[in-house]
Amino acid sequence: MIRPLYIFLFFILPLTCVAQRKGIHVNKAEAQAAFEYLKSVRENPAKFMKSLGVRFDTKQVSKLKLNWNEQLAETAEFRAYDMANRGYFDHVTPEGIGPNYYINKYGYTLNGDWLKKISTNNFESIAANHASAVDGIKAFIIGKGSPGFMHRKHVLGMDKWNGSLYDIGIGFVQLEKGNPYKSYLCVIIAKHDW
């Protein structure tokens, strides 16, 4: 019994205190709002093109229904929180670990081929410095800061690979003033196998 308490007091508690000093706040309501917004866009992309000021072939948008997945949500929340807490912005941690590893670690089973390289990312889009999670989704769709509109393809399922993904989790954290970014958004859309 002493060992788990020791681990908590000497390892977990200090990390929590650092995050509190940085003013990192997990916002689950924003993550859910982003999910609902993305579902609406995917259901009727033509309706949203005008308000977003973009044009794309709406026939390419996947009609596959996205399902909220708690394991992916926990993974996305961890990823957003980790970036905020440690002050980096990348699909790969400073230790070289990519999203696929964390997706699998949080209990969402992936095809073994997707885990062979520890830095692999097949399922994650990230954004930073947006006022809301919905604003981050809008930026993905508009293509702002996303060369080749890769984020748009991912979140709207606009190619064969991304169009085959069906489970989603979103993490959104906000930071108090004085930090380099005011928010981090992580969107993970995945599937278990081929």
pLDDT beyond 70 at 19: no
Confidence of residue 49 (pLDDT cuts 50, 70, 90): very high
Q: Two tokens at 9?
A: 């007091």
**pTM (2 decimals)?**
0.88
Region 164-180: what's the mean pLDDT? 93
Report whether 78 contacts 106 (CB < 8 A): yes
- Choose between 36 and 15: higher pLDDT: 36
Q: Which CATH class is domain 24-190?
A: alpha beta
Other CB atoms within 10 A of residue 86 CB: 13
Q: Which residues pair with 167 in a beta bridge?
A: 67, 190
Write down the domain spans for the chain: 24-190
Confidence of residue 179 (pLDDT cuts 50, 70, 90): confident
Separation of alpha carbons 54 and 142, rounded Å: 6
Q: Two tokens at 34?
A: 């982003």
